[in-house]
Amino acid sequence: MTPPPTTSGEVSRLLDQLRGGDREALDRLFPLVYQELRQAADRVLRREMKGHTLQPTALVHEAYLKLAGGPIGSENRAHFLGIAARAMRQVLVDHARRRRAAKRGGGDAAVSLSDADGAIDVQSDELLALDEALNRLAGESDRLRQVVELRFFGGLTEEEIATTMGVTTRTIQRDWVKARAWLHKELASGRGP
Amino acid sequence: MSKSSRWERLEALFDQALELPAAERVGWVRMQSWNDPALGDEVLAMLTAHDGQEGVLDRAPPSLLDTGGDLTGLAEALADKYVLEEPLGQGGMGSVFRAYERKHDRRVVIKVLRPEVSLLFGADRFKTEVELAARLSHPHILGLIDSGDADGYLYYVMPFVGGETLRTRINRLGRLDVGEATVLLRDLADALAHAHAAGVIHRDIKPENVLCVGGHAFLMDFGIARLASAMSRRTGVGIVLGTPGYMSPEQQNGDAFDHRTDIYSFGLVAREALLGKPDEAVGFASRPEVPPPLTSLITSCLDADPARRPSTASAVVGALDELAAPLVTTPMPVLKAMPRRWPWIVLAILAVVALLVVYFSTRPGKLDPASLAMPVVAAPLRNETGDSALGMIGRLASDWITQGLQQTGRMVVVSWPAAMDAADRAAATGASLLETLRTETQAQTAVTGSYFLVDNSLRLQAQVLDATTGSVLGAVSPVEVPRDSIQRGVRMLRDRVMGLLAVRTDERLRDVPGMLERPPTYEAYRAFDRGIRLYNAQDYGEAARVLRESWSLDTTFLVPLVYAATAAWNRGQFATTDSLVKVLRARQNSLSEYFDLNVAYLEHLLAGEGDKAYQVVRHAATLAPGSRAPYNAARLALLTNRPSEALTLLTTMDPDRGLMRGWQSYWTQLSHALHLTGDHERELTAMREMRRRYPDSRVAIVLEARALAALGRHEALDSLLAATEALPPDTYWSQAAVLVTVAEEFAAHKTGVPAPYQARAIRWLANQLAHNPQHRAHRYWMGSAHYDSGRWRDAEPYFSSLAKEFPDQIDFVGLNAVIVARLRDSTAAFAALGAAAPYERGTWAAYRARILAISGDTPQAIDLLSSALLQSVNGWPWWHASALRDLGLMAQDSRYQRLMRGE
């Protein structure tokens, strides 16, 4: 198995810096987390991790355990999970794009499609549409975008999201209801490219 | 307006609209956004999305497995047992495939959990939960066939029954037809009642977990929700289990909950099925044709307070039965007539029904409250011994009788101190004891009596009086004991009083002449009651044992012996029947005329005199129209080829009253009568009603299939056949029984092609017999399937071995003889058939007629068949189809045609 690309100490330090208001820390942290998640996903796909966790939200938590290593403050943990959720979104979207390209861009021998692919393509399309709608939502309210990412891609509870964002759980609940309604409305209207 | 302030307004409008009652939202938003209709449209679209069906955000994000992995490993790991055929869908928990099960040659559904879910569940825990669910066996629960771990994937296997989920059906139709919904909901409630009784709560009832096949519903995925919730708690990793929208408030809040959480979810599913939307705001007012009792039932299921929901799923079933069955004649006037306040009233009724169910399920018999006015008071017995030292006996008897009556659990009894107080007051004032008891204790019925000395013996006697009129409702036979055995005497008297009142309040016995004249002791009555319940459940072996025990407890009580004899007859134990009838004959003078006729009926049956037995039992039926005699008459009418008489008898009986209530065989006979008189539409309606009432009944499926086959309803038939695949194979009325019957009916009514059904039956049976070669029923159906296809040689080994192993079974011996006639000649066949016991002579002669038909001797065959039918032929209602190969050879003969028309 590939060794982790970084040490837990480095991640902790970056998280501390991030908390201290260092925006650059985020730029350095995100690629680390993305890389870790991406590698985990690839291992899964090559079936090197038979019977291993495959669900994205679970992978996020796992990446956290691995990268952040030892005990870190709950605030740092929340920040990390926020980043990881965003990275997970990216990993999934990249996968879906590659998949769509492989399927539609010809080269039918490249991917051996099992019978189950019909349902899966629907999911890929759904995910890409969601990603685009989420980008539009970010244009209106970045807070709602963040809530959706943390909850849907990060698998965070409402309490965890509230801690990450420094607001009350009640606010998060309201935000989620709103964001969900808006995104489902967007997806139902079929708007977008 | 700047972009950000427009968004802020949008958020604010949406937030505030949600605070309003659903019905007011649209108007309010329109009003608030009058100067920006586009904004209003957007908010309203969000509100619609908010209330709408689950979307992508309500599911887990697509698993990485799904976006690239393949399932080769899984398919390989399962290859020994299953062939994966087609993916059926994706859920929050994993993937669903249709597959082929090699061992039983059938389609199955395999649910494979996502690997991460598998990992978190753990194989052991999964096994425990799944096994718990697998123990559930119910016609409307899609049970588990198998489960395991393949290549790291946990999976479980269910029968494939086709159909669609309720979610799909609602999406397809918008909403369900009210009648259809009622039947489906009844199936679900029934499934829940069964699971709850077994201590299993589903926890995740939603339209996605309900499979609709034709007009019926199956509940699936028991045990899985429980696993998922346990896992979420343990790991903190949320697995999205469909929408949380179907959870009860207590379950959502993480409070303690019980089986009533399922009743809540059931209510949500019911509302959605009827209204097409899960939205609370869409009221039942939007669909006025939903009958008020149904909306009210559903509303009560949806009460936030579990204590105010129907307390059991059985109560829901009962309430739905009231709605679904126009045949049910028991009036519930309050439910039908109340215009307004009736949600509360219905709730109250449901609560009472539930209470009664709980209370009386532990009690003997059924209470008929109309038969005896309550409360009952046991007065002190009058001391007529002339010895004041014996004065305490009367008070002692009152105390003991009071306690005894309370123990029966069947009546309201005035407490002993209150009875004593009233009696003392009557003695002090010189007023009438009965009147004082009535005014002081409100008693409507009184037990009074006296005791006196006869030489050195104490004699106690008691009677039951109407407290208002003073008329005698019944008396027990006096008890006489030695003077030094007073306590024993009082106990005996108490037992007789209890027996009298128990019989009096038992609706099953009210219609039985003779019971009240000679009431049994309470001990004997209790055994009798148990025996009758076993008898009604058609557990004749155990019934006969308990009924004989009842008789031995009180040998003056002969009624149980009559039932024991009938039970033995029903089991085919003719020698036992014969000996019991002889015991009864020796005590003939102590039987009432009705039971005397019953004994005569058995005697004629034993002598093979079906015609005479029929006359006797018809007479008994006129003596006691509420008894089982009309039923017995109808049954015999069918076995003696009088289907229209049978139909008349059956249609004048009420299947919801007295002894016919809960008597499944009534419907079997009704099916025969309608089938043989050619009224297949009514037959089908009746059989659907039978299935609704007896969802566990296997024979009901066969009978419904027979009606469908006679009508040539191929599509409905296939849906029904699909449902049979979900049932356990190991019974007489198996899947093969349905297939063989359908093929025979196709041939008899020329409504379909039998061969494919025969082939399916043979394939299925071959598979079953490969594992269980000795299975008697499977061998019988296998022989029949081959015989019906005209393959005598293939049928021969099955029938000849059955005849050898069960030489007492006339049908096995008869079928073997028929095969011999086919393969050799009639002489050899008659030899194989041998001689017959007297009580089987009719059936035996009918087999001889079949042999003669095969050898081409039509006139003699018809003579023989006619006389056989005078004696009665077992299974005759099936013969027009099952014996078609043989009897059909005479189809051109006019006498035969008249015979088969029941003329």
CB B150 within 8 A of CB B74: yes
Question: Residue A13 has what pLDDT?
Answer: 77
CB B843 within 8 A of CB B879: no
* Chain A residues inside the 8 Å CB shell of B120: 53, 58
Question: Residue B672 has what pLDDT?
Answer: 95
Q: Does A54 touch chain B (CB under 8 A)?
A: yes
CB contact under 8 A, A116 and B73: no
CB contact under 8 A, A58 and B237: yes
Which chain B residues in 36-55 lie under 8 Å from chain A, judged by CB atoms? 42, 45-50, 52, 55
Looking at the predicted structure, is the pLDDT value of residue B678 above 70? Answer: yes
How many Cα atoms sit within 13 Å of B683 on the Cβ side? 24
Q: Does A150 touch chain B (CB under 8 A)?
A: no
Question: Residue B92 has what pLDDT?
Answer: 55
A161-165, B131-135, B363-367: segment of lowest average pLDDT: B363-367
Interface ipTM above 0.85? no
Instruction: Give the pLDDT band (50/70/90) at residue B641.
Output: very high
CB B214 within 8 A of CB B719: yes
Q: Does B333 touch chain A (CB under 8 A)?
A: no
Q: Does B116 touch chain A (CB under 8 A)?
A: yes
To the nearest whole Å, the CA of A45 is away from the closest chain B CA by 5
How many angstroms from the chain centroid is the CA of residue B352? 22
Closest residue in B to A121 (Cα) is: B67
Question: Residue B141 has what pLDDT?
Answer: 81
CB B400 within 8 A of CB B353: no
Top-confidence residue, B297 or B399? B297
Top-confidence residue, B320 or B15? B15
Strand order in the sheet with B82-90: B82-90, B94-101, B106-113, B153-159, B146-150
Q: Please identify which residue in the block is written with the tokens 């909950």.
A: B257
Which amino acid does the sequence have at B314?
Answer: S
- State pLDDT tens for residues B744-756: 999 999 999 999 9
Top-confidence residue, B810 or B501? B810
- DSSP SS3 for B258: coil
Looking at the predicted structure, is the pLDDT value of residue B69 above 60? Answer: no
**Preferred mutation among B9, B11, B47, B57 to probe A, highest tally of A CBs within 10 A:** B57
A72-81, B19-28, B346-355, B865-874: segment of lowest average pLDDT: B346-355
Kind and range of the H or E element at B594? helix B593-606
Rounded Cα gap, residues B334 and B42, in angstroms: 48
Top-confidence residue, A70 or B463? B463
Question: Residue B507 has what pLDDT?
Answer: 61
Rounded Cα gap, residues A31 and A35, in angstroms: 6
CA-wise closest residue to B788 among B807, B760, B827, B767: B760
Q: What share of chain A is helix, strand, coil (3-state, %, to 5)?
A: 75, 0, 25
To the nearest whole Å, the CA of B122 is away from the closest chain A CA by 11
To the nearest whole Å, the CA of B902 is away from the closest chain A CA by 58
Question: Residue B353 has what pLDDT?
Answer: 36
Question: Residue B4 has what pLDDT?
Answer: 72
Q: Does A20 touch chain B (CB under 8 A)?
A: no
CB contact under 8 A, B46 and A181: yes
To the nearest whole Å, the CA of A135 is away from the closest chain B CA by 15
* Chain B residues inside the 8 Å CB shell of A42: none
CA-wise closest residue to B829 among B750, B886, B900: B886
Which chain B residues in 137-156 lie under 8 Å from chain A, judged by CB atoms? 151-153
The angle subtended at Cα B41 by Cα B38 and Cα B46, nearest 5°, is 130
A81-95, B340-354, B394-408, B687-701: segment of lowest average pLDDT: B340-354
Q: Does B894 touch chain A (CB under 8 A)?
A: no
Average pLDDT over chain B, rounded to an integer: 80
CB contact under 8 A, A177 and B50: yes
Distant-in-sequence, close-in-space partners of B750: CB < 8 Å, separation ≥ 6? none
Q: Does A174 touch chain B (CB under 8 A)?
A: yes
A93-107, B277-291, B607-621: segment of lowest average pLDDT: A93-107
Among the partner residues A56, A180, A185, nearest to B64 by beta-carbon distance = A56
Top-confidence residue, B769 or B411? B769
**Preferred mutation among A147, A158, A182 to probe B, highest tally of B CBs within 10 A:** A182
CB B188 within 8 A of CB B176: no
* Chain A residues inside the 8 Å CB shell of B7: 140-141
CB B229 within 8 A of CB B261: no
Q: Does A63 touch chain B (CB under 8 A)?
A: no
Top-confidence residue, B463 or A68? B463
User: Is B539 labeled as catalytic in the residue annotation?
Assistant: no
CA-wise closest residue to A6 among A59, A71, A67, A65: A67
Rounded Cα gap, residues B312 and B327, in angstroms: 24
Rounded Cα gap, residues B184 and B182, in angstroms: 5
Among the ranges B62-66, B356-360, B539-543, B880-884, which has the highest mean pLDDT value?
B880-884
B318-327, B580-589, B643-652: segment of lowest average pLDDT: B318-327
Question: Residue A120 has what pLDDT?
Answer: 45
Catalytic residue of the set B41, B70, B177, B204: B204
Task: At B751, list the tokens.
Answer: 């409504």
CA-wise closest residue to B656 among B321, B218, B362: B321
Instruction: Give the pLDDT band (50/70/90) at residue B58.
Output: confident
CB contact under 8 A, A157 and B90: no
Closest residue in A to B154 (Cα) is: A51
Question: A186: buried, middle or exposed (CB in 10 Å: 19+, 13-18, 0-12)?
Answer: buried
CB contact under 8 A, B65 and A124: no
Question: Residue B518 has what pLDDT?
Answer: 59
Question: Backbone phi, then psi, for B804, in 5-degree steps?
Answer: -70, -40
Kindly state the average pLDDT of the residues A134-163.
86
Cα Dmax for chain B: 115
Which amino acid does the sequence have at B458?
Answer: L
Question: Residue B361 has what pLDDT?
Answer: 29
Question: Residue A72 has what pLDDT?
Answer: 57
Q: What is the pTM of this model?
A: 0.46
Rounded Cα gap, residues A182 and A133, in angstroms: 9
Which chain B residues in 203-232 lie under 8 Å from chain A, judged by CB atoms? none
Top-confidence residue, B877 or A101? B877
Average pLDDT over chain A, rounded to an integer: 70
Question: How many other CB atoms sit within 10 Å of the CB of residue A97?
Answer: 14
Rounded Cα gap, residues B55 and B471, in angstroms: 73
Q: Does B1 touch chain A (CB under 8 A)?
A: no
Q: Does A101 touch chain B (CB under 8 A)?
A: no
Q: Does A32 touch chain B (CB under 8 A)?
A: no
CB contact under 8 A, B49 and A188: yes
Rounded Cα gap, residues B79 and B83, in angstroms: 6
Distant-in-sequence, close-in-space partners of A171: CB < 8 Å, separation ≥ 6? A162
Looking at the predicted structure, is the pLDDT value of residue B517 above 70? Answer: no
Question: Residue B827 has what pLDDT?
Answer: 94
To the nearest whole Å, the CA of A27 is away from the closest chain B CA by 25
CB contact under 8 A, B67 and A182: no
* Chain A residues inside the 8 Å CB shell of B69: 44-45, 47, 54
Top-confidence residue, B415 or B782? B782
A9-13, B142-146, B504-508, B809-813: segment of lowest average pLDDT: B504-508
How many angstroms from the chain centroid is the CA of residue B748? 30
Question: Residue B334 has what pLDDT?
Answer: 32
Question: Residue B328 has what pLDDT?
Answer: 28
CB contact under 8 A, B49 and A61: no
Sort residue B572 into left (φ over 0), alpha (ψ -120 to 50) or beta. Answer: left
Which amino acid does the sequence have at B42?
Answer: E
CB contact under 8 A, B55 and A180: yes
Rounded Cα gap, residues B486 and A51, in angstroms: 79
Q: Does A50 touch chain B (CB under 8 A)?
A: yes
Give the DSSP per-residue string, B536-591. Answer: HTT-HHHHHHHHHHHHHH-TT--HHHHHHHHHHHHTT-HHHHHHHHHHHHHTGGGS
**Preferred mutation among B59, B67, B149, B243 to probe A, highest tally of A CBs within 10 A:** B67
CB B823 within 8 A of CB B790: no
| Buried-state track B650-663, b at ≥16 Cβ within 10 A, e below 16 | beebebeebbbeeb
Closest residue in A to B149 (Cα) is: A51
Which chain B residues in 366-385 lie under 8 Å from chain A, judged by CB atoms? none
Rounded Cα gap, residues B761 and B700, in angstroms: 18
Among the partner residues A96, A124, A181, nearest to B47 by beta-carbon distance = A181
Looking at the predicted structure, is the pLDDT value of residue B348 above 50? Answer: no
Task: At B63, list the tokens.
Answer: 């698993």
Q: Does A59 touch chain B (CB under 8 A)?
A: yes
